[in-house]
Amino acid sequence: MSAVPRAPAAPRTVAERLAALAQHQARLRRCRRCPGMTGPPVVGAPVLSPVLLVGQAPGSREIGLRRPFAWTAGKTLFRWFEGIGLDEEAFRARVYMAAVCRCFPGKAPKGGDRVPGEAEVASCAPWLEAEIALLRPRLVIPTGRLAIARFLEHRALAEVVGRVHPVRLGRRTVDVIPLPHPSGASVWHRTEPGRTLLGRALALIAAHPAWRAILRRPPPRAGTAAQAEARPRA
- The DSSP bridge pattern shows strands 172-176 and 165-169 to be antiparallel
For residues 69-92, one letter each, b for 16 or more C-beta atoms within 10 angstroms of the residue's C-beta and e for the rest, the string is bbeebbebbbebbeeeebebebbb
- Model confidence at 2, in pLDDT bands (50, 70, 90)? low
Overall average pLDDT of the 80-91 stretch: 98
Domains of the chain: 14-223 (3.40.470.10)
Each residue of 92-139: pLDDT tens digit? 999 999 999 999 999 998 888 899 999 999 999 999 999 999 999 999
Looking at per-residue confidence, does 199 or 232 come out higher?
199
Each residue of 210-226: pLDDT tens digit? 999 999 999 999 974 44
Q: Is the pLDDT of residue 171 over 60?
A: yes
